[in-house]
């Protein structure tokens, strides 16, 4: 798939990204995104605003598979993450932490790109239907497996993570943390989301042929499980 969003040729273009969630997936999305995004902004003479939304606080279990340190326990997740990235802020990149969950359109700002990486089917559905989201991507995972969906995904695939999804599903399987059997599906889908954001920004800046990751279901153990794009029958490819 080739993406070329609204090309912005001016020297001081401004872009904005919303990250919904700050846990098992989103904490790694932000961690992997800020550095290359800063370099993109420097190279293109643009400015990038990244906003992160989540009401949770860091607990001891989070430290084992999310991008937090033992010293972060008890802190707001969004504050801990943005604090870690403080040295990369200023000038080209601005980070904003919002200590609340996204439950309605009034809970988030308009953005060019929105990554939904939270275990709330309602939040996912809200983002897919809101014009404030811009281009959107949804990340989910369970153990070693993950799904990455975008506006190009089939309706059937999107429904699996919205109206037909289980609420509050953890990215780690039951017992995985207590038994020390943590999987990396969350980090794998975070890398896909990071790539989607960076390549989308390149397309928005005017780069021709900037390809973005396609929707897919994958396992870090078994490989590709499916590619979920629009077809004539609105099914799976």
Helix (H, G, I), strand (E, B) or coil at 235: coil
User: Is residue 1 included in any domain, yes or no?
Assistant: no
pLDDT in tens, 53-68: 999 999 999 999 999 9
pLDDT in tens, 84-125: 998 998 889 999 999 999 999 999 999 999 999 998 999 999
Instruction: Write a three-state SS string for 23-43.
Output: CCCHHHHHHHHHHHHHHHHHH
Does the global pTM surpass 0.85? Answer: yes
User: Is residue 3 included in any domain, yes or no?
Assistant: no
Q: Would the pLDDT of 169 be above 80? A: no
User: Is residue 80 included in any domain, yes or no?
Assistant: yes
User: Is residue 235 included in any domain, yes or no?
Assistant: no
Separation of alpha carbons 52 and 96, rounded Å = 6
Report pLDDT for 135: 97
* CA 72 to each of CA 82, 129, 195: distance values in angstroms, whole numbers, following the listed order: 12, 34, 27
Q: What is the mean pLDDT of residues 160-178?
A: 80
User: Is residue 201 included in any domain, yes or no?
Assistant: yes
Range of the domain at 133: 13-226
Overall number of domains in the chain? 1
CATH number at 198 reads 3.40.50.720
Under 8 Å between Cβ of 93 and 127: no
User: Is residue 68 included in any domain, yes or no?
Assistant: yes
User: Is residue 208 included in any domain, yes or no?
Assistant: yes
């Amino acid at each position: 798939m080739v993406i070329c969003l609204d090309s912005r040729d001016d020297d001081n273009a401004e872009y904005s990204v919303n990250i919904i969630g700050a846990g098992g997936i989103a904490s790694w999305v932000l961690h992997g995104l800020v550095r290359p995004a800063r370099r993109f902004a420097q190279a293109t003479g643009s400015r990038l605003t990244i906003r992160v939304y989540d009401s949770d606080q860091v607990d001891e279990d989070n430290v084992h598979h999310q991008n937090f340190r033992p010293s972060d326990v008890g802190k707001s997740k969004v504050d801990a993450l943005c604090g870690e990235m403080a040295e990369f802020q200023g000038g080209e990149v601005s980070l904003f932490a919002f200590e609340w969950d996204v439950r309605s359109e009034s809970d988030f700002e308009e953005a060019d790109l929105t990554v939904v990486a939270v275990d709330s089917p309602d939040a996912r559905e809200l983002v897919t239907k809101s014009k404030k989201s811009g281009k959107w991507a949804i990340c989910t995972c369970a153990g070693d497996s993950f799904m990455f969906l975008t506006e190009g995904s089939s309706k059937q695939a999107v429904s699996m993570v919205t109206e037909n999804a289980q609420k509050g599903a953890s990215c780690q399987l039951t017992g995985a943390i207590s038994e020390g059997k943590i999987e990396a599906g969350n980090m794998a889908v975070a890398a896909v989301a990071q790539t989607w954001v960076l390549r989308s920004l390149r397309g928005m800046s005017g780069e021709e042929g900037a390809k973005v990751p396609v929707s897919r279901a994958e396992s870090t153990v078994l490989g590709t499980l499916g590619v979920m794009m629009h077809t004539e029958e609105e099914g799976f490819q």
